[in-house]
Amino acid sequence: MDLLRSIGITEIVFQLMLVNAILGLSIYLTLYTGMFSLANAGFMAIGAYVGVVLTQNYDLPLWAALIGGMAAAGIVAVPIGLPVLRLRDIYLAIATIGFGEVVRILILNFDALASSISGENVQLTRGALGITGIPKITETWQLLLFLVVTVYILVRLHHSRFGRAMAAVRQDEQVAATMGINVVYVKNAIFILSAVLAASAGVLKAHLTRTISPGDYGFDQVVNILAFAVLGGTSTWLGPIIGGFMLTAMPEILREFKQYRGIVNGVILLLVIVYLPGGIVNVNAWKRLWRRVRRQPSIETS
């Protein structure tokens, strides 16, 4: 542990690494099923706000807030997913970006809106300033446990009939439908699962960072989450975890170069998507890169 601390990975950094790994997994689920959805930050916001209101205003324990936040996101995901998941690639991306922005703006104006409807002075989300002074009650072991359970469920999912249906939907929706897979059901179920996972990360993170504001869940946050999955790769569940770990730990390890942090992130994203399209956790991509470096004739015709 001392070694880790000496390179800048303190307990809070490690905790954030775990949270970001969960976020990476949430977008991995949809990407693995062939859906380019960017709604994760929106669901994260829903989870975080519902969770914080539960612990702050109703004095509930963290696990109850976790369940509440996840349930809220899951419930919202149903009416969003049903129409939106009919769209494909870029259209789906734009629609889900729009959803995320609407969520952010609604949270921003929630108090004013609720006050004008109920006629009372509602102080729940506290506008642009957000909620501060949230107790730091998320523990490292809870995060670790949550991540391990999530991975266990994912692995079981991949080896199940449903998991193979997911892969089939990604490969070709029409063929999958012809084989008797209920494509709409698979896509929506995964979308909801992804939303629930993002919301859980939202609840856990809110009780780590102690403050939340609508600005934390804008387009930048989606881009970060996407970067975890893209950097790590989406061919296995390990990819987004490694991606989340790396992108969270690296700025701390390289904190002397703090002002170049954003530049480094941009360069990494570009390099990975151009030279390692399968992400870091992808043996084939490394082999391909190695061949290119050594300038050996490639057998693959890609």
Partner 1 sequence: MNITQQIVNAIWLGGVYSLFALGYALVFSVLGVLNLAHSAVFMWGAFIGLVAVTQLNISVWAAIPVAMLVAGGIGIVLDVVAFAPLRRRNAPRISQLISSIGAAILLVNIAQLIFGTQPQRFPLGSIPSDPLEGLPIRITPIQIVILVVAVVLMAMLQYLVVRTRAGQAMRAVAFNQRVASLLGINSGNVFRITFFLAGALAGAAGVLFGLAYNTITPFMGDSVALKGLTVIVLGGLGNIQGAVVGGFVVAALEVFSIAIGGSNYREAFVFTLLFLILLFRPQGLVGQAAETRA
Q: Which residues are at the interface with partner 1 (CB under 8 A)?
A: 36, 83-84, 86-91, 93-95, 97-99, 101-102, 105-106, 108-109, 112, 218-219, 223, 226, 230, 259-263, 265-270, 273-274, 277, 302
The CB-of-179 to partner 1 minimum distance in angstroms stands at: 21
- In the bound state with partner 1, the residue whose beta carbon lies nearer, of 92 and 143, is 92
Secondary structure (3-state) at 130: coil
Q: Which is nearer to partner 1, 110 or 162 (CB)?
A: 110
Query: What minimum distance in Å lies between the beta carbon of 55 and partner 1?
Result: 27
What residue type is assigned to position 122 of the chain? V
Q: Which residue, chain included where needed, has tokens 């409807």?
A: 117
Q: How far is the CB of 22 from partner 1 (least distance, A)?
A: 21
Nearer to partner 1, 97 or 253 (CB): 97
- Name which of 199, 247, 231, 251 is nearest 73 in CA terms: 199
Angle between helix 219-232 and helix 11-32 axes, rounded to 10 deg: 80
Tell me the closest approach of the beta carbon of residue 180 to partner 1, in angstroms.
Answer: 23
Of 64 and 269, the one with the shorter C-beta distance to partner 1 is 269
Whole-angstrom CA distances from 10 to 16, 26, 127, 253 are 10, 25, 31, 10
Nearest to 138 by CA among 61, 73, 75, 82: 61
Smaller CB separation from partner 1, 64 or 264: 264
**Least CB distance from residue 108 to partner 1, whole Å?**
7
User: Which CB atom, from 160 or from 284, has the smaller least distance to partner 1?
Assistant: 284
**Phi/psi zone of residue 211: left (φ > 0), alpha (ψ -120 to 50 degrees), beta?**
beta
3-state secondary structure of 131: strand
CB of 281 to partner 1, least distance (A): 17
The three-class DSSP label of residue 298 is coil
